[in-house]
């Protein structure tokens, strides 16, 4: 199955998406936005341990809107982040 997201708010109060569970694959891409129905949501957060049950060894981050104060250091370990 694919990655799971939760709709939250960004710092400005706009609706945004948070990665809560990464898909179980060797590589995972975090998109700039997700689409639910006709609505688009920017991906701005990654939940702690979002990769806990994932086999991912490479993560491709396409979004430039990740909030620095909500990126836990252990969210990615032991994963290589790719531009």
Instruction: Please give the sequence-ordered ranges of beta strands (E in DSSP) within the chain, or none if there are none.
Output: 4-9, 15-21, 27-30, 33-36, 39-46, 58-61, 80-82
- pLDDT higher than threshold 50 for residue 80: yes
Report the Cα–Cα distance between both ends of the chain, in Å, rounded: 24
DSSP SS3 for 75? helix
Residue whose token pair is 């032991």: 78
pTM of the model: 0.75
Q: What is the pLDDT of residues 49-61, one digit of tens each?
A: 888 888 888 888 8
């Amino acid at each position: 199955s694919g990655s799971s997201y939760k709709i939250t708010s960004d710092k400005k109060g706009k609706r945004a998406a948070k990665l809560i569970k990464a898909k179980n694959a060797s590589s995972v891409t975090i998109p700039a936005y997700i689409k639910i129905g006709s609505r688009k949501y920017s991906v701005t957060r990654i939940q702690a341990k979002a990769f806990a049950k994932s086999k991912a060894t490479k993560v491709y981050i396409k979004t430039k809107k990740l909030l620095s104060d909500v990126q836990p250091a252990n969210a990615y370990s032991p994963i290589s982040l790719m531009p």
